[in-house]
Amino acid sequence: METLNNILKSVNPDVDYYKETRLIEDRVLDSVQIVYLITLISEEYSIEISPEDLLPENFNSMDAIYALIKRYEK
């Protein structure tokens, strides 16, 4: 989870990702940041996120993003 937090901090360092649960809904991350985040996650974890998984609920919090990554790592 610390690796993911570091990735998120590189996208937007002004957010407490351990507490924030509405990254998409509250527009904490904009569309460009989300695309960048997906690129960083794909590179770091050697996964390719399917377009079907590009849903707000999968990116609304660090926990949701982490769960998405874990599904791909199986």
Distance CA 32, CA 1 (A): 23
Residue extents of the structural domains in the chain:
2-73
pLDDT at 54 over 90: yes
What's the whole-number average pLDDT of the chain?
97
pLDDT of the residue at 17: 98
Residue 12 pLDDT grade (very low, low, confident, very high; cuts 50, 70, 90) = very high
Does the pTM surpass 0.85? The reply is yes
Main-chain phi, psi angles of 19, to 5 degrees: -105, -30
Q: Which fold has domain 2-73?
A: 1.10.1200
